[in-house]
Structure formats: C-alpha cells, structure tokens
C-alpha cells in the first residue's frame, strides 16, 4: 500500500491540468464536448473555487482531477503524479452535494469507511473518527444514524469522512448547494476554520458568487459550450470572518466575478 | 440514540447551538414514531384475531344457507346452480375441526395437532434448506450479473424462462436424480433433500431479480465515492452494494420463504416423499370420508407454516434494517 509509493514531490503543484479536453460519447449521436483546452494550476494549500453556469463542466473537471473519468486529450497531474496514481495513493478525497452517508452505519462508522478500505486497525479508526468528530464539532452524535441528522449535520459528517485519512487535497462538488442560506454561511465558516487549521488544498465547485468570493484564494470562472476557463480571479481577502461579508474588497471581487461570468470585464 | 444528547432533551431550552436544538426535536419525533408503531402492531394482532373469527362465522353461516340448497334447487334454480351445496361431509362444522385438532386419530396415541406439528417441522426443514440454497444461488447469480451489463442482458431472460417450467413436472425428475445420481456426495442422499432442491427452484428467482435491483440501487455518487477511495470491487460489494440491497433482498426473502413452503408441499406430493405436510394433505384427501376435519386441519397447518416463515423473515428484517430509517438509502 502506501509504503510502496514514492513520496510526493513537496514542490509539485497540487493540481496541474494541461490542455485537457473531455468529450462524452465521442463519435456518437449524443456526443457532448464538456471541456475544451483547460489549463489550470493549483498550488499547495490554495483554496480554489470553480464557478460557472450549470452544465459548463465544473463537475466534469473535478472528476478529471479525481481520475474518476479519463481526459480525451491533455494531462492531469495531482501532486506531480498522473491523476489515477494519485487516486490509488489516496492523495485526495471528495465531497458531493448529497452527503451520501451510508444510512446503515452510524456517524462514527461512516467516518471510518475510508480507513476501513485502507486496512486500518479498529482502535486506530476509532481514535481518528473521534478526532474528526471534534474537528467538525459533532462529538456527541457519534452513535447517531444519518437519517436522524439534519442536512447541514450530514454534510459535516461527509467532510469529516473525507478528511479522516488526512488527504492532501479536498475536492468538493457544490457541497453546500442543498442547504438553506443560514446553514450554508455557518458551514462556510466551519470549512474555512478547518482549512486554516489543516492547510489542506481545496478545490470547491459552486454556482454562488458570494460563496466563491468568501471562501477562496482564487476564483476560476468557467463558461459553457464547450466548457472553458473564462477568467481566473485572484481573491486575496486575507483572514476571513463574518466581517469579511460586509467588506468593500469582498464586494469588489463579487462584482469582478459577476462581470467575468457575464463575459465582459 | 440515547447518550448525552437525549439526556439533554429534558432542558432543551438551555441549548443554544441551533443544530443541536434541531437534533433534539428530531429525537422527540422519532420517539413518538416508535410508540405509534407499537400501537399499530397491537392493533394488527387484534384485527387478525377478529378476522379469523369472522371467517369462522361466515363459514358457519354458509353451512346454514348451503345446507338447504339441494332441497331448494327447484325453488331457487339460479342460486342452487351457482353455489355449491354444503353438508357436514363437505364442510365439517367449526367445532368438529377444533376438536379434531386435539383428537387422537385411530391407530395412534398422539393428538392430531402433534402429528401435524411434527410433519410441519419436517416440511419446514425441507423448505428452510431449499430457502437457504435458493438465497445463496439467487444472490450469487445477482452478484455475477452485477459485474457486467452485457451479462445481465444476456442472462436475465434465461432466469425468467426457468420459472416457466412447471414445478410438478420437474419434481419427479429431481427425486429420481437424487436417488440414482447423487452418490458421489459425502453423505447419503435422502428424498427430503430432493424436495429442498424443488423448493430452491422457486426461491432463487425472486432473490436474483430483487437482488439485482438492490445491488444496482446505490446512487452513482456513492459508487464514485468508493472509486475515489480506490476501493476494490469486493470492498464496494461488501460495504456498499450489499448493505444497500438489504431492503430489496428482504422483500424477496419474504416472497421466497412462503414460496419455499409451497415448493416443499407441492414437491412432496408430486414426488411422493413421505413424512411431511404434503403427504399428510394427500393422505387425508384419500380417506376424507372417515374424517373430513383432518384435511381441513392439515391445510390450516400448512397456512400456519407459511405465516410462520413470513413472520420469521419479517422480524429478522426489522432487527437488521427496520430501525434505521431506511427511507434515506442513498
Ligand atoms: N457521463 C456523462 N455522459 C454524457 N454527458 C455528460 C456526462 N457527464 C456530464 N455530461 C455533460 O457534460 C456537460 C458538463 O456537465 P457537468 O460537468 O456536470 O456540468 P456542471 O457541473 O458545471 O453543471 C453537460 O452538458 C452534461 O450534460
Ligand atoms: Mg455539477
């Protein structure tokens, strides 16, 4: 397993996408050109959001990085390795819009799932899942079942599960998209806290402009048909907290992202 | 479900985290639901008892009406030709049936319920072995079919076609094979085992069909999640596909369990295997005139056996998946 794997180059980009294209069902009547000529570099410790209208290929790009699907052209490197090698090395973890917890497992055992797959001993798993529950502040719900939890709490468990084996990279596909606005802002604060505590690299898909600007160090704006990167907006808001949401710099960047989405500058 | 959070339920006002507060409300609702379910179960038992009484009353009432039909045929030609006439031979009185349960049939020193009970146990063993083999075979086929869509499309029609062969036709063949050909086995083949094979034939089918649906029931993103963890195929099967298919499988198990009893009884009758309920039904039909109530009791025994296996599977299901809100299978 992991000891057979060469250590990742610490200098390598967390994600390096070069000239990547993705065509679904090529040559058939239902051919879809989902992504065309994508170049994207994500540094270690960055928090990058992908934003764009529905159908512009955000999820597809995330799946390419995760090596859940193959590129039609171009290459994807994760921590300096081909994406699929990174997947096999468990370099990253994913969080989806639906928490996707296994409802026959309690919260703690859900968090242990990836650890089980990696062959961890029960005692180590127990200890790590307790740590993770503390990280997402759900300590007292370890033995609850997912069906008993609200949507926001389920998503926190999903994040704990994703972080349980300390991956270097977190890939999130509209993780807060199904939550109400209040819960959503609460979750954004929590995610930023976790990010600054762990310094994990995050690639975060959203179609909410304020969410993208509040969370990320870099906003990647995508345009549809075929999916391309329209603009990359550096978003240096420094230390973020509730006051950031009322900060003029925050609003300036919201406007910049909105203009980029409209296709003008 | 208990623990500190439930303990804090008493002073919910003191909780300031909105998520924890919401959680406490949910738990209260879940407790209510549990209580409602118990009340429902109690009502169901009462209703079942009343229903059985109602059937006995209707049965007795019909005897009153039907007893006159033959005489009245000229008066009510229509009714007389549609409804069968009844007398104590065709429809033994309810009280005869009840007392027949406790009588000792001539030539034995054992009450009839005990004889039928032992035969029911014999049939239950045939059915249970058939059910177990059917579950293993059915699930095995479903797992193999899950590996490839092409395999599924190619084989499912054959699985369905297998059920068009009449059970009664293959039963004697299986018994003959068992007696003549299965001597390579490390144990001596017995006729009841052939009956189990016959029962298997009915039980594997629902397990395969529902198992296939259940194994394919996880959402794509849950399968992607397993892929993203670089899970092996067997890990995904054991930790995702199989648990997700439990509700589907138990629906099939309930059908299969009752089918296994039917298969065992029909198998006994058509293959001429001694010792079980099927044989008893055949015997009591042959000597019907000397004790019509015994045939009724034998048939009631078969019905009770069917209900018993259904209830047994249901309670296992409740213990395994019932409690955990399976409405959110993801
Ligand atoms: N598995 C697939 N097969 C065929 N087409 C797909 C598949 N996945 C995505 N697409 C198509 O690719 C395009 C981009 O999809 P997606 O990446 O899901 O967009 P987004 O996440 O930005 O809403 C859409 O037109 C979608 O229909
Ligand atoms: Mg998407």
Closest by CA to B205, choosing from B275, B105, B131, B151, is: B131
Provide the domain limits for residue B58. Answer: 2-71
Contact B229 A103 (CB under 8 A): no
**CB < 8 Å to B235, chain A:** 117
Residue with CA nearest ligand 1 atom 6: A24
Mean pLDDT of B165-194: 81
Mark the residues whose beta carbon lies below 5 A from ion ligand 2: A 59
Tell me the per-residue pLDDT of B222-245, one tens digit each, with 9 for 90 and over.
999 999 999 999 999 999 999 999
Contact A147 B324 (CB under 8 A): yes
Contact B4 A140 (CB under 8 A): yes
**CB < 8 Å to A113, chain B:** 229, 239
Residue B252 falls inside a structural domain: yes
- By percentage, how much of chain A surpasses pLDDT 90? 40
Query: Of B71, B87, B120, which closes a domain?
Result: B71
B66/B181 same-domain check? no
Query: Quick one: pLDDT at residue A1?
Result: 42
Ligand 1: residue of A57, A206, A208, A223 to mutate (most ligand atoms within 8 A of CB) is: A57
For residue B11, pLDDT beyond 60: no
B56/B136 same-domain check? no
Query: Quick one: pLDDT at residue B193?
Result: 87
Residue B242 falls inside a structural domain: yes
- Please give the backbone phi and psi of residue B15, each rounded to the nearest 5 degrees, phi first: -85, 130
Residue B80 falls inside a structural domain: no
A173 CA distance to ligand 2 centroid (A)?
Answer: 7
Contact B225 A116 (CB under 8 A): no
Residue B229 falls inside a structural domain: yes
Tell me the per-residue pLDDT of B92-120, one tens digit each, with 9 for 90 and over.
888 888 888 888 888 888 888 888 999 99
Residue with CA nearest ligand 1 atom 3: A24
Contact A104 B321 (CB under 8 A): yes
Chain mean position to CA B72: 43
Burial of residue B62 (CB within 10 Å: 0-12, 13-18, 19+) is middle
B200/B289 same-domain check? yes
Tell me the per-residue pLDDT of B266-280, one tens digit each, with 9 for 90 and over.
888 887 888 889 999
Tell me the per-residue pLDDT of B276-308, one tens digit each, with 9 for 90 and over.
899 999 988 888 888 888 899 999 999 999 999
For residue B330, pLDDT beyond 60: no
B257/B201 same-domain check? yes
Tell me the per-residue pLDDT of A56-86, one tens digit each, with 9 for 90 and over.
999 999 999 999 999 999 889 998 899 898 9
State whether the Cα torsion A84-A88-A89-A94 is positive or negative: positive
Higher pLDDT, B23 or A212: A212
Total of domains in chain B: 2
Residue B76 falls inside a structural domain: no
Distance from CA of B324 to the nearest CA of A (A): 7
Q: Find the CB nearest B230 among A87, A141, A149.
A: A87
B40/B148 same-domain check? no
Going from N- to C-terminal start, the domains of chain A cover 16-21+33-91+167-265, 102-166
B110/B227 same-domain check? yes
Cβ of A143 under 8 Å from any chain B Cβ? yes
**CB < 8 Å to B219, chain A:** 98, 100
Cβ of B246 under 8 Å from any chain A Cβ? yes
Query: ω into residue A226 within 30 of 0, thus cis?
Result: yes
Query: Quick one: pLDDT at residue B80?
Result: 56
Angle between helices B191-215 and B149-162 (to 10 degrees): 140
B121/B267 same-domain check? yes
B64 CA distance to ligand 2 centroid (A)?
Answer: 72
Q: Find the CB nearest A114 among B229, B244, B328.
A: B229
Contact B222 A141 (CB under 8 A): no
Stretch (H or E) spanning A133: helix A122-135
B67/B155 same-domain check? no
Residue B94 falls inside a structural domain: no
Residue B137: band (very low, low, confident or very high) from pLDDT cuts 50, 70, 90: very high
For residue B79, pLDDT beyond 70: no
d(CA B216, CA B210): 10
B15/B106 same-domain check? no
Residue with CA nearest ligand 1 atom 16: A57
B114/B259 same-domain check? yes
CATH code of the domain occupying A16-21+33-91+167-265: 3.40.50.300
d(CA B6, CA A124): 27
B56/B157 same-domain check? no
d(CA A113, CA B249): 23
Residue with CA nearest ligand 1 atom 26: A55
Nearest residue in chain B measured CA to CA from A97: B221
Contact A117 B235 (CB under 8 A): yes
Residue B90 falls inside a structural domain: no
For residue A45, pLDDT beyond 70: yes
Neighbour tally for B73: CB within 10 Å: 14
Distance from CA of B153 to the nearest CA of A (A): 21
- Please give the backbone phi and psi of residue A247, each rounded to the nearest 5 degrees, phi first: -80, 135
| DSSP letter for each residue of B165-216 | S-HHHHHHHHHHHHHHHGGGSSS---HHHHHHHHHHHHHHHHHHHHHHHHHT
Distance from CA of A204 to the nearest CA of B (A): 16
pTM of the model: 0.80
Residue with CA nearest ligand 1 atom 12: A34
**CB < 8 Å to A63, chain B:** 224
**CB < 8 Å to A181, chain B:** none
Nearest residue in chain A measured CA to CA from B243: A104
**Long-range contacts of the stretch A237-244 (C-beta < 8 A, 24+):** A237/A213, A240/A192, A240/A214, A240/A215, A241/A189, A242/A189, A244/A214
d(CA B45, CA B262): 24
B100 CA distance to ligand 2 centroid (A)?
Answer: 70
Contact A103 B325 (CB under 8 A): yes
Distance from CA of B23 to the nearest CA of A (A): 7
Q: Buried b vs exposed e over B156-185: b needs ≥16 C-beta within 10 Å?
A: eeebeeeeeeebeebbeebbeebeeeeeee
Residues with C-beta less than 6 Å from any ligand 1 atom: A 24-25, 32, 34, 52, 54-60
Query: Is the separation of the CB atoms in A154 and B27 below 8 Å?
Result: no
Residue B126 falls inside a structural domain: yes
d(CA B104, CA B111): 4
Tell me the per-residue pLDDT of A202-229, one tens digit each, with 9 for 90 and over.
999 998 999 999 999 999 999 888 888 8
CATH of the domain at B240: 1.10.3720.10
Query: Quick one: pLDDT at residue A170?
Result: 94
Contact A94 B228 (CB under 8 A): yes
End-to-end CA distance of chain A: 49
Query: Quick one: pLDDT at residue A198?
Result: 86
Mutate to test the interface with B, among A117, A138, A177 (most CBs of B within 10 A): A117
3-state per-residue secondary structure call for A164-209: CCCCCEEEEECCCCCCCHHHHHHHHHHHHHHHHHHCCEEEEEECCH
Contact A149 B228 (CB under 8 A): no
Query: Is the separation of the CB atoms in A202 and A170 below 8 Å?
Result: yes
């Amino acid at each position: 397993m992991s000891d057979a794997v060469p250590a990742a180059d610490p200098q390598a980009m967390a994600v390096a996408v070069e000239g990547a294209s993705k065509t679904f069902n090529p040559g058939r009547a239902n051919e879809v050109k989902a992504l065309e000529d994508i170049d994207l570099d994500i540094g270690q410790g960055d928090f990058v959001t992908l934003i764009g209208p529905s159908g512009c290929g955000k999820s597809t790009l995330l799946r390419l990085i995760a090596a859940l699907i193959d590129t039609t052209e171009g290459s994807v490197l994760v921590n300096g390795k081909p994406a699929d090698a990174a997947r096999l090395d468990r370099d990253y973890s994913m969080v989806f819009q639906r928490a996707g917890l296994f409802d026959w497992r309690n919260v703690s055992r859900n968090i242990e799932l990836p650890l089980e797959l990696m062959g961890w001993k029960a005692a180590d798993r127990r200890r790590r899942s307790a740590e993770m529950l503390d990280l997402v502040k759900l300590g007292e719900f370890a033995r609850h079942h997912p069906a008993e939890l609200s949507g926001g709490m389920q998503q926190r468990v999903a994040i704990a599960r994703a972080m349980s084996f300390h991956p270097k990279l977190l890939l999130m596909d509209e993780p807060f998209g199904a939550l109400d606005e209040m819960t959503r802002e609460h979750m954004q604060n929590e995610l930023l806290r976790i990010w600054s505590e762990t310094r994990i690299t995050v690639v975060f898909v959203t179609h909410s402009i304020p969410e993208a600007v509040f969370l990320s160090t870099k906003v990647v704006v995508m345009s549809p048909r075929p999916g391309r990167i329209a603009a990359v907006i550096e978003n240096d808001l420094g230390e973020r907290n509730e006051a950031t949401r009322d900060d003029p710099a925050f609003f300036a960047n919201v406007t910049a992202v909105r203009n980029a989405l409209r296709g003008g500058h | 479900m208990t623990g500190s959070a439930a303990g804090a339920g008493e002073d919910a006002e003191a909780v300031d985290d909105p998520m924890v507060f919401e959680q406490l409300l949910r738990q209260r609702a879940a407790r209510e639901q549990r209580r409602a379910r118990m009340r429902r179960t109690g009502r169901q038992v009462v209703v079942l008892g009343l229903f059985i009484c109602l059937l006995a009353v209707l049965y007795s009432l019909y005897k009153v009406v039907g007893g006159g039909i033959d005489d009245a045929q000229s008066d009510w030609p229509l009714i007389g030709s549609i409804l069968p006439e009844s007398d104590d031979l065709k429809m033994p009185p309810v009280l005869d049936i009840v007392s027949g349960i406790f009588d000792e049939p001539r030539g034995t020193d054992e009450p009839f319920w005990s004889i039928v009970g032992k035969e029911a146990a014999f049939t239950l063993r045939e059915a249970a072995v058939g059910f177990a083999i059917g579950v293993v075979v059915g699930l095995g086929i479903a797992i193999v079919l899950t590996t490839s869509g092409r395999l599924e499309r190619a084989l499912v029609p054959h699985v369905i076609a297998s059920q068009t062969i009449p059970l009664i036709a293959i039963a004697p063949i299986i018994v003959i094979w068992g007696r003549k050909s299965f001597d390579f086995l490390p144990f001596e083949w017995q006729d009841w085992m052939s009956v189990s094979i016959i029962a298997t034939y009915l039980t594997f089918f629902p397990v395969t069909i529902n198992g296939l649906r259940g194994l394919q029931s996880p959402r794509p993103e849950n399968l992607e999640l397993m892929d993203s963890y670089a899970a092996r195929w067997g890990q995904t099967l054991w930790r995702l596909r199989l648990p997700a298919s439990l509700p589907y499988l138990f629906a099939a198990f309930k059908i299969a369990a009752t089918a296994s009893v039917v298969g065992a009884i029909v198998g006994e009758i058509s293959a001429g295997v001694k010792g079980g309920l099927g044989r008893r039904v055949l015997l009591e039909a042959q000597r019907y005139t000397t004790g019509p109530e015994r045939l009724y009791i034998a048939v009631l025994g078969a019905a009770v056996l069917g209900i018993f296996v259904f209830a047994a599977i249901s309670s296992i299901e409740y213990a395994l998946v019932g409690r955990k809100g399976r409405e959110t299978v993801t």
